[in-house]
């Protein structure tokens, strides 16, 4: 080719690497020719979708020839009632990642910067760099956000700060007192994104509900998703709640029909299925306790987590361990791109899946130790 189409792209995009999702089961089946695979890589709900959500999807199957409600009226109304906010505060997304990109596109330029914590979600630098803005990663403290250091790192160029609570992939979390103290230091001109993708799983008493903070902090944007505790990852549906002016800006660049018919109906149903949500939380707590106990038995350090995943230090570079686990039919997530080269992030599965993972991990670590002798 005479023309270099990579060089034609904007410089920020040129410097990016594609986001690497968890390996799909089908891909591993093709690569290794194995079956009975356990996937604990993408923080998905192991229970499958809510029965009420499945029933809601069935009711709209004959309408798939139609475009969805572009404004998401019924879903916004359901969210507004559930959360105690106005519908004019809500922006719907094709997953909450979609909303994160809208925020970056709305409030960042090539002359401004975003900020986030080390070991934080990979999408924050991606959406920043894609539009040519600067991005600052502030060193973590005990694997989590060092809010004091983040406050001190604010400059005249800072326009967006991403805070994940709980944080992915470390599972660390911030109390309401810590979060308020930080927000009090942030100038109102800076958009603070509170990413609460895993909030429904958290049972800690001091954990904040970001929605209740909105009245005190007009620059705050809370993002949430139906992909995790609500079990709808495959439908890609998320949202943000903010002050109406911010929501107005986000909705100006939101792509038409970004929330499909099935996603909207399933989300409405899942939002009101309290029994399903409670079961999801209980299954997660049981699985988390089991994995913590087993890691301790195996002499492995782990990062205490309040999400639906846990990161474990395997005591050596994690890539060979991950590869060996794949050969055992167990998919987890290496997190070397997050500057955690010895850690694997493991989603909480059913107890059968959790036991299968531990058995495979113990076998793999034993085999690798034997090879090193």
* Residue 29 scores a pLDDT above 80: no
Mean of pLDDT over the chain: 94
Place of tokens 């539009």: 131
Q: How far is CA 175 from CA 170, 172, 212, in A?
A: 16, 10, 13
Helix axes 96-107, 244-253, angle to 10 degrees: 100
Same fold, 21-48+275-372 and 51-272: no
pLDDT tens across 142-200, in order? 999 999 999 999 999 999 999 999 999 999 999 999 999 999 999 999 999 999 999 99
pLDDT tens across 214-256, in order? 999 999 999 999 999 999 999 999 999 999 999 999 999 999 9
Specify whether the backbone of 258 is left (phi greater than 0), alpha (psi in -120 to 50) or beta.
alpha
Q: What is the pLDDT of residue 26?
A: 78
Place of tokens 């023309």: 3
Eight-state DSSP code of residue 208:
-
Q: What is the DSSP string of 302-368?
A: EE--SSSEEEEE-SS-HHHHHHHHHHTTEE-EE-GGGT-TTEEEEE---HHHHHHHHHHHHHHHHHH
Residue 250 to residue 97: CA distance in whole angstroms: 13
Q: What is the pLDDT of residue 280?
A: 98
Q: What is the DSSP string of 128-197?
A: HHTTT-EEEEEPPBTTB--HHHHHHT--TTEEEEEEESS-TTT-----HHHHHHHHTTS-TTSEEEEE-T
Q: Tally Cβ neighbours within 10 Å of residue 308.
A: 29
Could you tell me which of 79, 195, 75, 72 has the C-alpha nearest to residue 127?
195
Residue 235, burial from CB neighbour count under 10 angstroms (0-12, 13-18, 19+): buried
End-to-end CA distance of the chain: 51
Q: What is the DSSP string of 216-255?
A: T-TTEEEEEESSSTT--GGG--EEEE--HHHHHHHHHHSP
Joined together, the tokens standing for residue 286 give: 């049981």
Architecture (CATH level 2) of domain 21-48+275-372: Alpha-Beta Complex (3.90)
* Residue 23 scores a pLDDT above 80: no
> Per residue, what are the HEC states of 81-133?
HHHCCCHHHEEEECCHHHHHHHHHHHHCCCCCEEEEECCCCCHHHHHHHCCCC
Sequence-ordered list of residues with C-beta below 8 angstroms from that of 135, at least 6 positions apart, any chain: 113, 114, 115, 116, 124, 125, 128, 129
Residue 369 to residue 371: CA distance in whole angstroms: 5
Sequence-ordered list of residues with C-beta below 8 angstroms from that of 4, at least 6 positions apart, any chain: none
Least confident span in 94-98, 157-161, 247-251, 368-372: 368-372
Could you tell me which of 273, 345, 339 has the C-alpha nearest to residue 310?
345
Q: Options 3.40.640.10, 3.40.50.11390, 3.30.1510.10, 3.60.110.10; which CATH number does 51-272 get?
A: 3.40.640.10
Task: Show me where the domains of the chain are located.
Answer: 21-48+275-372, 51-272
Q: What percent of the chain has pLDDT over 70?
A: 98
Could you tell me which of 166, 198, 125, 137 has the C-alpha nearest to residue 304?
166
Give the CA count within 13 Å in the CB-facing half-sphere of 85: 25
Q: What is the pTM of this model?
A: 0.94
Sequence-ordered list of residues with C-beta below 8 angstroms from that of 355, at least 6 positions apart, any chain: 290
């Amino acid at each position: 080719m005479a023309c270099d189409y990579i060089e034609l792209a904007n410089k920020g995009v040129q410097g990016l690497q594609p986001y690497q999702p968890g390996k799909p089961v089908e891909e591993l089946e093709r690569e290794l020719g194995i079956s009975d695979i356990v996937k604990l890589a993408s923080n998905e709900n192991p229970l499958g979708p809510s029965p009420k959500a499945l029933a809601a999807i069935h009711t709209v199957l004959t309408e798939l020839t139609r475009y969805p409600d572009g404004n998401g009226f019924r879903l916004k109304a359901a969210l507004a009632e559930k959360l105690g906010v106005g519908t004019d505060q809500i922006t719907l997304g094709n997953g909450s990642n979609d909303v994160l990109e809208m925020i970056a596109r709305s409030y960042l330029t090539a002359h401004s910067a975003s900020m986030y914590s080390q070991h934080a979600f990979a999408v924050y630098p991606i959406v920043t760099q894609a539009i040519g803005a600067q991005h600052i990663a502030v060193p973590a403290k005990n694997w989590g956000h060092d809010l004091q250091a983040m406050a001190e790192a604010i400059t005249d160029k800072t326009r967006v700060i991403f805070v994940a609570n709980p944080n992915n992939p470390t599972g660390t979390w911030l109390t309401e007192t810590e979060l308020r103290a930080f927000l009090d230091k942030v100038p109102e001109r800076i958009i603070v994104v509170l990413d609460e993708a895993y909030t429904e799983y958290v049972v800690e008493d001091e954990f904040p509900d970001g929605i209740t903070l909105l009245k005190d902090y007009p620059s705050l944007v809370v993002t949430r998703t139906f992909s995790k505790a609500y079990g709808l990852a495959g439908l890609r549906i998320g949202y943000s709640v903010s002050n109406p002016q911010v929501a107005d800006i986000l909705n100006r660049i939101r792509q038409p029909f970004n929330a499909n018919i099935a996603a909207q109906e399933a989300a409405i149903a899942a939002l009101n299925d309290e029994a399903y949500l409670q079961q999801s939380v209980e299954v997660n707590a049981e699985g988390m306790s089991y994995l913590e106990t087993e890691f301790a038995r195996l002499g492995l350090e782990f990062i205490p987590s309040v999400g639906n995943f846990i990161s474990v230090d395997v005591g050596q570079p994690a890539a060979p361990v991950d590869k060996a686990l794949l050969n055992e039919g167990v998919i987890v997530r290496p997190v070397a791109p997050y500057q955690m080269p010895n850690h694997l992030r493991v989603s909480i599965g059913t107890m059968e899946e959790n036991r299968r993972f531990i058995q495979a991990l113990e076998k793999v670590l034993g085999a690798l130790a034997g090879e090193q002798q």
